[in-house]
């Protein structure tokens, strides 16, 4: 390594793109709203509650997106929790999480 750094694009999904928290991320991390076709690499950030309540089609889209190389999905609060555990596992079937 020669001290080179690589910048990772930060993408804001759903309502986070227009939320005040998203504005902070845009200013501090250079985040941008996720393009509607999602044909980009980088870190996608989405409200966990939006993912949980968005239904299986939305969950499938985001999970398929983040399984490609160069992509990660970060779910941020608010989201539903119960007994200290995240309901995300209960909202997504194992089939959604399995790699194709």
Domain ranges of the chain: 10-97
- pLDDT tens, position by position, for the chain (100 residues)? 456 656 779 999 999 999 999 999 999 999 999 998 888 999 999 999 999 888 889 999 999 999 999 999 999 999 877 644 444 455 454 444 444 4
Residue 13: HSE in the Cβ half-sphere, 13 Å Cα cutoff: 27
10 φ, ψ (degrees, to nearest 5): -115, 125
Is the pTM of the predicted complex or chain greater than 0.85?
Answer: no
């Amino acid at each position: 390594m020669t001290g080179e750094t690589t910048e990772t694009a930060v993408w804001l999904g759903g309502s986070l793109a227009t939320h005040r928290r998203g504005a902070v991320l845009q200013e501090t991390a250079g985040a941008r709203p996720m393009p509607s076709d999602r044909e980009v690499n980088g870190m996608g950030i989405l409200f966990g509650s939006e993912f949980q309540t968005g239904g299986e089609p939305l969950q499938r889209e985001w999970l398929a997106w983040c399984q490609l190389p160069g992509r990660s999905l970060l779910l941020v609060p608010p989201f539903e929790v119960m007994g200290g555990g995240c309901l995300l596992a209960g909202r997504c079937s194992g089939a959604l999480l399995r790699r194709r």
